[in-house]
Amino acid sequence: MAYDYGSESLGIRNPFKAEGLLRAARGLVVTLLGIYPLLQVVSLVQQDKTLAWISAAIGFVLLAGGLRALGGGIFQMLRFFVGRSVPTSLAPNYSKSERETAKLEKPHYKSIDLEEMLMGRKNKTFVEPVGFISRLVHTLVPKLIFLPYPLRNLAQRFSGALIATIIALVAYALTAFVCLTGLAGDTGDILLPFFSAVLVIYLILSWRGASTVYRQAERSIETQGNLKLAKIMAFAILAPVIMGLIINFLLQQPDIAELVAELRQSELHSFAIAPQLLLVLLFAAISGAFIFLLLKQRTAQVKAQTKVSEYRANWQENIHPRELFVNIDNIVMANRRYKEIPNRVYRELNPNLNEQSESKGNFSGEIMIETQPAYAPLEHTALFKQLRVFSTIAGQVLLLIGPFILFYLLFEARSILELVHQFQAIARPSDAATQSFVISLFNESQFILSLLFSWLICHSFGRLLENYSHTFWAELNFNSLLVYLKCEGTYTESKLTTGKGIYDSTASENYVMRSSLTPWIISSRIMSSTFADSGAKNVEHPRHILEMEDNPQEMQAILDDIQSFMSNRETIASIKNAQDLSNTEQIYQINQQSRAMPVTSDQATLSSPQQDADASAAQAIEQPKS
């Protein structure tokens, strides 16, 4: 949609300034972290090239991530360009002034959907949830069904990830019970650490998938059903069994069995899953608290009304049916434009006149118009605003922990390289020295693996809070008037002549269209919602109707305008030109003078009809006297 500039602003301000500032601050810190390893590369090249390459790689990763966050934050803080054509129309727009713009729009409804909503007093935006998880969430939060699609989808996504986490933890508890009690045999102490690592990876992938917010989510409701539950339970049941079979197969190999026996006798540190599980549960609780409270504050403002104002009557008027539709379109609704912006026409003016004969026929026509939506932000509570800011801050802090962990891994890499160099310096290492080196290297790798998992967990929940809080920042609400007119009836044509008299006079002959009109007018003051974004398509996403309120005063004002037009119409032609009025007066004076002249014997045969009538009356009076 093109940027259509107008001197009058629509009053839509950039909603992402605070969010962009926090994101830019995080990007600046990460950028500074990335610069430090790059500055150390020159000195490290002379000491250890491997460490120099590792430092350069970590520096480039941190610098790229920091610049991306910094640029994205600054981009969100830039000017919010809003033209006169925003937001998107509810249905395909047939307004002649918006032909090019209408081609670029992708409305959510069709005109027939809007007609059904007005006629049936219903809202087709509130679709029924599909799937077990979706129904469960909407049952626990009944008013969730009245929220826009993106908010409903993020609630379902979070609930699905939470249910997946609970089922995975139950499966892990069962597996741990089997392994620790000896029911799994000799492979129990080996199976549990592997399954712990798989569990952490699964939880990271689950929450990372839940953190994604798709733009197509604003067009429909996602399905969270039995299939997802089946996948989760299948993983919980099959993963331990498959891993047990693989480990049993590997232990049957003599070399692997001997190596495992030696490792069991050494001082190896097993993979610690407790810190990762605590992180997942802690961040899930924090994220869930933010999301639940934000949704609760948002649902508190839901009215979910589907009320309209309706008028039905029968009019007998001297008017051509087409004139009624033209007046409603060009005068009545045009006078209700918002800031002189053209109305949205969803049913084009096209009356159907069926002429049955030369003087009578029937007609039908309809028109659907929406006034330019006026920006009407919701009056959020102070708690909602604070929660939205705090959730954004929490997301940025969690996203900032990852770069610090990656920065710390630079020092761990130095320790591992020193350990490797010390072992390589031994000319003929003994078995004890080799075993000590392997144990130290294994323990260090376990620690690095725990750090990487912690990083991914923080990144997943940080991204989840960032995207979810962005959805609450992005909601924009508009208020507009939606009017639907349907009119049917019949018309007859008659001739009206006025002004004729006995003497010469000015007359008016008119063909009058006598119409029997049966109008059906439905109007509603609607509140619609869309979700903005930063960039060229900031307010050009689909718009959904959330509330429909009746407007009896506006309906009466529309009726007054229509009836005023019909009552002030002139059926008889009149003289409105001063020159024509002067000419008519002159003709009248000439006629007066002609009638005042005496009648001679030669003109007796040309006497006026009035004189003939007077003579006849006189003769009738004289006859009785004789």
In tens, the pLDDT along 387-397 reads: 999 999 999 99
- One domain for residues 73 and 171: no
| Tokens representing residue 35 in the block | 């610069």
Residue-level pLDDT at 396: 94
pLDDT at 384 over 90: yes
Residue-level pLDDT at 515: 80
- One domain for residues 135 and 261: yes
- One domain for residues 75 and 167: no
In tens, the pLDDT along 594-613 reads: 666 665 555 545 445 555 54
Residue-level pLDDT at 606: 47
Measured in whole angstroms, the distance separating CA 60 from the mean position of its chain's CA atoms is 37
- One domain for residues 148 and 40: no
Q: Is residue 155 part of a domain?
A: yes
What residue type is 39 in one-letter code? L
Rounded Cα gap, residues 310 and 220, in angstroms: 31
Please name which of 386, 484, 380, 464 lies closest in space to residue 161, comparing C-alpha atoms: 464
Residue-level pLDDT at 570: 64
Q: Is residue 51 part of a domain?
A: yes
Q: Are 525 and 368 in contact (CB under 8 A)?
A: no
- One domain for residues 38 and 146: no
DSSP letter at 186?
A: G
Q: Is residue 250 part of a domain?
A: yes
- One domain for residues 59 and 160: no
Please name which of 178, 156, 163 lies closest in space to residue 232, comparing C-alpha atoms: 163
Cβ atoms < 10 Å from Cβ of 23 = 27
The domain boundary, picked from 230, 251, 270, lies at 270
Bigger pLDDT: 60 vs 613:
60
Structural domain total, the chain? 3
Q: Is residue 484 part of a domain?
A: no
For residue 597, give its domain range.
578-625
Rounded Cα gap, residues 384 and 294, in angstroms: 6
The domain boundary, picked from 270, 299, 327, lies at 270
- One domain for residues 134 and 266: yes
- pLDDT bin (cut points 50, 70, 90) of residue 626 is very low
Helix, strand, or coil here: 181?
A: coil
Give Cβ neighbours of residue 503 (< 8 Å, ≥ 6 apart).
591, 595
Q: Are 531 and 148 in contact (CB under 8 A)?
A: yes
Most confident of 88-92, 164-168, 328-332: 88-92
Q: Is residue 609 part of a domain?
A: yes
Helix, strand, or coil here: 616?
A: helix
Whose tokens are 């300034």? That residue is 17
- pLDDT bin (cut points 50, 70, 90) of residue 81 is confident
- One domain for residues 154 and 255: yes
How far are the Cα atoms of 317, 321, 519, 554 from residue 312, in angstroms, in the given order? Answer: 16, 17, 6, 15
- One domain for residues 155 and 218: yes
Helix, strand, or coil here: 362?
A: strand
Q: Are 133 and 229 in contact (CB under 8 A)?
A: yes
Bigger pLDDT: 470 vs 574:
470
- One domain for residues 133 and 266: yes
- Provide the sign of the torsion angle of the four alpha carbons 205, 207, 211, 212, taken in this order: positive
- Which of 58-72, 407-421, 545-559 has the least mean pLDDT? 407-421
DSSP letter at 477?
A: E
Q: Is residue 521 part of a domain?
A: no
Q: Are 89 and 102 in contact (CB under 8 A)?
A: yes
Q: Are 163 and 140 in contact (CB under 8 A)?
A: no
Percent of the chain with pLDDT over 70: 75
Task: State if pTM tops 0.85.
Answer: no
Give Cβ neighbours of residue 592 (< 8 Å, ≥ 6 apart).
none
- One domain for residues 164 and 34: no
Give Cβ neighbours of residue 337 (< 8 Å, ≥ 6 apart).
343, 371, 372
Q: Is residue 568 part of a domain?
A: no
Give Cβ neighbours of residue 310 (< 8 Å, ≥ 6 apart).
520, 521, 522, 555
Measured in whole angstroms, the distance separating CA 291 from the mean position of its chain's CA atoms is 19
Q: Which long-range contacts (CB under 8 A, 24 or more apart) does 278-282 make?
A: 279/454, 279/457, 279/458, 280/165, 280/200, 280/203, 280/207, 280/457
pLDDT at 625 over 50: no
Classify each residue of 518-556 as buried b or exposed e, where b means 16 or more C-beta atoms within 10 Å of its C-beta. Answer: ebebbbbbbbbbbbbbbeeebbbbbbbbbbbebbeebbe
Rounded Cα gap, residues 288 and 294, in angstroms: 10
Please name which of 121, 122, 207 lies closest in space to residue 164, comparing C-alpha atoms: 207
Please name which of 188, 181, 176 lies closest in space to residue 244, comparing C-alpha atoms: 188
The domain boundary, picked from 270, 291, 313, lies at 270
Rounded Cα gap, residues 459 and 404, in angstroms: 12
Rounded Cα gap, residues 223 and 44, in angstroms: 53
Rounded mean pLDDT, 326-333: 85
Percent of the chain with pLDDT over 90: 29
Rounded Cα gap, residues 337 and 343, in angstroms: 6
- One domain for residues 142 and 30: no
Write down the mean pLDDT value for the chain. Answer: 80
pLDDT at 464 over 70: yes
Q: Is residue 144 part of a domain?
A: yes
